[in-house]
Amino acid sequence: MRVSDFHFDLPEELIAQVPPAIRGSSRMLVLDRGQREYRDNFFRNLPEMLQPGDVLVLNDSRVIPARLYATRARSAATQTSSPSPSGRIEVLLTQQLAENEWTALVRPGRKVQPGERLLFAAAGESVPLLEAEVVAAAEFGERTLRFAPNPEFRAILDRIGHMPLPPYIHRDDTPEDRDRYQTVFSHESGSAAAPTAGLHFTPEILDQLRARGIQVETITLHVGLGTFQPVRAEQVEDIHLHSEHYTLPARTAEAINAALREKRRVLAAGTTTTRTLEHCAQIAAVDGFEPHGGLRLHAHSGETSIFIHPGYQFRVVSGLLTNFHLPESTLLMLVSAFAGREFVLNAYRHAVRERYRFFSYGDCMLLL
């Protein structure tokens, strides 16, 4: 299967540049996999579309202000922290590796090589608040940074960092993005991008879901480099994703196990949640449990690089809430695996005709 098999034409003006005026007011395209039908609706009606006994799983990862701007220090051999006049370096922290080490995307990457030091100051100030050494380099601007130990690292990051809006949002981040590019249930800091299906939820809608008898649980998957790296392979089978850290809590594992045992639905809010649950199911299957006939998830933390594309057999997720994704993206491939490529692409064409808003700040789909 070719990556180009997942192409669709998207007018530039349909890419949402700002969030909706009111959180939760998005449109929602509902796809019925059994009837092969789709219909227009609104996210606010989600509670009435789910059934008592359903388990809805959310990703509670919290986005960090991961975009920083640095100047290059002179050669490390000079032991000087004087900034060079070579211009601003953009650094996007994508994953924490150790206490002071991070992977990052650096632009322009060709200027920043191992052994160099980067200095980070607040906007309009010259005194650096953070300092990092480049300790390794990979392709396409990926670097490993080792920050000088600083007990105030997180506080400084909150002060000088910018929200890591995706590259298809053609504007600088604003103070409003600190709130709107964050889910209302975010808890565990660590993501370099929002789990965007969760951006639609409000406390009121979550209350309505619980009042209807839907069990709302959480996992954590910290969204990392894979979200920002475009697909460069031509064949789907040649795609490999970067690993991301996740945690499956005991309460969520128990709720899912009970739902599978009792033939109740498990719905994932977002592709990050879907990937986490299906990865955990693979682990359970390797341990000797069969899907829906004794599959038992267990609480744990780990790393996943699972890539779900057409042909994959879902073990846990039977319903999916997700935003509209980029053409030829791995996320569109996941949705196509869940509902069928042609059915999904036809629904996308309908969404384009009906002027749905696309991507992170856009509208959503519910697949049942």
| 77 — pLDDT class (breaks 50, 70, 90) | very low
**Domain check: are 217 and 340 in the same one?**
yes
Q: Return the pLDDT at 83.
A: 43
**Domain check: are 192 and 295 in the same one?**
yes
**Domain check: are 33 and 86 in the same one?**
no
Q: Tens digits of per-residue pLDDT, 322-360? A: 999 999 999 999 999 999 999 999 999 999 999 999 999
- What is the identity of the amino acid at 313? Q
Q: Tens digits of per-residue pLDDT, 158-213? A: 999 999 999 999 999 999 999 999 999 999 999 999 999 999 999 999 999 999 99
CB 218 within 8 A of CB 185: yes
**Domain check: are 150 and 187 in the same one?**
no
Residue 165 included in any domain: no
Report the number of distinct structural domains present in the chain. 2
| 140 — pLDDT class (breaks 50, 70, 90) | confident
Contacts of 10-13 with CB under 8 Å at 24 or more apart are 10/327, 10/352, 10/358, 11/352
Q: Return the pLDDT at 164.
A: 96
**Domain check: are 352 and 258 in the same one?**
yes
Mean pLDDT across the chain, nearest whole number? 93
**Which residues form the domain of 230?**
3-63+177-367
CA distances from 337 to 148, 255, 330 (A): 44, 25, 10
Q: Tens digits of per-residue pLDDT, 216-257? A: 999 999 998 766 677 889 999 999 998 999 999 999 999 999
Rounded Cα distance between 226 and 229, Å, is 5
- Nearest-CA neighbor of 196 among 277, 105, 269? 269
Q: Return the pLDDT at 206.
A: 98
Q: Tens digits of per-residue pLDDT, 273-304? A: 999 999 999 999 876 555 445 789 999 999 99
**Domain check: are 188 and 321 in the same one?**
yes
Q: Return the pLDDT at 336.
A: 98
Look at the block and give the residue holding tokens 């990392």: 224
**Angle separating helix axes 330-339 and 341-353, nearest 10 degrees:** 110
- Nearest-CA neighbor of 205 among 218, 214, 193? 214
Look at the block and give the residue holding tokens 């994703």: 241
Q: Return the pLDDT at 79.
A: 41
Give the pLDDT mean for 310-316.
Answer: 97
- Over 60: is that where the pLDDT of 76 sits? no
Rounded Cα distance between 140 and 182, Å, is 27
CB 273 within 8 A of CB 57: yes
Look at the block and give the residue holding tokens 């392709």: 139
Q: Return the pLDDT at 287.
A: 66
Residue 171 included in any domain: no
**Domain check: are 153 and 78 in the same one?**
yes
Q: Which residues of 188-213 are buried (b: 16+ CB within 10 A; e: fewer)?
A: bbbbbbbbbbbbbbeeebbebbeebe
Which of 160, 187, 216 finishes a domain? 160
- What is the identity of the amino acid at 138? A
Residue 257's SS3 state is helix
Rounded Cα distance between 1 and 78, Å, is 53
Neighbours of 51 (CB within 10 A): 14
CB 228 within 8 A of CB 105: yes
**Domain check: are 151 and 214 in the same one?**
no
Residue 204's SS3 state is helix
> Percent of the chain, pLDDT > 90?
88
Q: Return the pLDDT at 75.
A: 46
Residue 147 included in any domain: yes
Q: Tens digits of per-residue pLDDT, 106-129? A: 999 888 999 999 999 998 898 999
Rounded Cα distance between 95 and 162, Å, is 16
Q: Tens digits of per-residue pLDDT, 15-44? A: 999 999 999 999 999 999 999 999 999 999
Look at the block and give the residue holding tokens 């100051």: 121
- Over 50: is that where the pLDDT of 85 sits? no
| 265 — pLDDT class (breaks 50, 70, 90) | very high
